[in-house]
Amino acid sequence: MKSKITDELLRQIEIAAMVLHQADFYSEFDLAEHFGNSVQSIRRDMGKLRNMGIEIHSSKGTLSIDKSINLNTLNDILCTYLSLSNNETIRNLKLIQNKFGDNIIYYFVKLIKAINEKRFVIFTYKVYYSEGPIERTILPLTLSRIGKTIYLIGYENDNPNKIRHYLLERIIKFDFPNIKSKIKNSPDI
């Protein structure tokens, strides 16, 4: 079972992801309702995010993050969220950040939630042997690190006989339909 500190840190990262993905959309009250916490807890979380170097502020009742998150802070946040050692660097992070901008945290959060809830992910992927990008639908099983590169591993088309891995840096676009897999048990990878 996760500790309270871990739950708080994960909530703070998710708050940053949501606000980066939709600036000037959420209020402190919206987030309190979403997470089932008090507005005071959300304000404390925002203070802790500012201490991490994330400039989150409320203006006219909605939240925004004033500037892009620097690569070192982004690496620390994602390593924490992925339960990696903070002193490690994700090698392909700059390529992924260039592709998705500040929405990168949002996509990592959505991927982890899709893995935990056994929900499908649809993405467009660039392969070297193909003329154009291809679209894949997978049941994500895990994000795995080989060396300093992160891969998305999952069942293609919900077929346990088709386990595939994809370099995150080659993914062009994500879609997260709210569709659960029919597979009850998946391997721990």
Bridge partners (DSSP) of residue 62 are 59
User: CA 128, 164, 84: angle at the middle one, nearest 5?
Assistant: 100
The neighbour count for residue 156, using CB atoms within 10 Å, is 15
Exposed / middle / buried, residue 35 (Cβ in 10 Å: 0-12, 13-18, 19+) = middle
pLDDT tens-digit readout, 28-51: 999 999 999 999 999 999 999 999
pLDDT tens-digit readout, 57-89: 998 899 999 888 888 888 888 877 777 545 567
pLDDT tens-digit readout, 72-131: 888 888 877 777 545 567 777 888 888 888 888 899 889 988 988 899 999 999 888 778
> What does the pLDDT average to over 130-153?
87
